[in-house]
Amino acid sequence: MTLYWRIFLLNAAVLVVAVLLLLGPVTVSTPVLFGEAQVLIAGLVVMLIANAILLRIGLAPLARLTRAMATADLLRPGSRTIVTGPGEIADLTKTFNAMLARLEAERATSSGRALSAQEAERQRLAQELHDEVGQTLTAVLLQLKHAADHAPQPVRADLRQAQETTRAGLDEIRRIARRLRPGVLEELGLHSALRALTTEFTTSSTSATAYITPGLPHLDPATELVLYRIAQEGLTNSARHARATRVEVHLRPLPDARVGLLVRDNGQGIGAAPEGAGISGMRERALLIGADLDIGQGPHGGTEIRLRVTGGKADDRSTQENVR
């Protein structure tokens, strides 16, 4: 039975009951007496209430489907609406679930292509910064040193200062290139890359520490890159926005051959602030490898980023448990 006929029959049933009451114990005079008017008004109220309740029951599956449509988030896949209700409502719910699954698959595919293009562009920029800008600044440093060695004393101090400024700029260019392309990840693996990353984020006001548990399962390069990028984004958010003084990065094996990444700080937390591009990027990267990502407040304040990903066989590389 279609939705149209169900609503029609519900209203018809209410009207039939009203007519039977009028033909039975309830009568109407001309003119209408006060007592009869009260009975009619009471009957009208009862009919409206009964009609509203019956319609609410009949349209409840549509209300659930509407809430599911309003709360659907492609960055949090897996939620589906329970198929209930007869006829076309059940078909509509099944169609919506199928559409949601198709959109999630298409989003994951497009995100994978976008992230691959982004990584390729980062690699190109890092290479150009290293080969072009880095070599140019190195040549400038040599020229400044030569000029300072042969310059008169009043000018030598200014040349030395220019030399130090250029050296600082060269170090910053190299730091940016390392962030764009984590060469240590490709050459030495994820463990060394996370240690180097936390060392890079350790300053006079912030302490960043990596805790890596031995016996981690083997991970493919794409998964290692996602773990590295999410840890990098978490450390960046802690340093820039959370005002944290301590940040911890934990990498450890989980049951069922899974690997867990935890980035925890003691900052001010995310609170009710909307998710920015950084968090959305982390969710897209997690979707790319089918990982579970949770971001929220820690038990003692601050922010916790938890990523759970499926690994492979046990890794032969061993590391110390508490590595700075």
- Residue 211 has what pLDDT? 92
**In this structure, how many other beta carbons lie within 10 angstroms of the beta carbon of residue 282?**
25
Q: Residue 178: pLDDT band by 50, 70, 90 thresholds?
A: confident
Residues 172, 177, 179: CA angle, nearest 5 degrees: 95
Give the separation between CA 40 and CA 20, rounded to whole angstroms.
13
Q: Residue 102: pLDDT band by 50, 70, 90 thresholds?
A: confident
Give the separation between CA 157 and CA 84, rounded to whole angstroms.
81
- Adjacency order of strands within the sheet including 322-323: 292-297, 303-310, 258-265, 246-254, 207-212, 322-323
Check if the beta carbon of residue 142 is closer than 8 Å to that of residue 166: no
- Residue 77 has what pLDDT? 67
Residue range 126-162, pLDDT digits in tens: 778 777 888 888 888 888 888 888 888 778 888 888 8
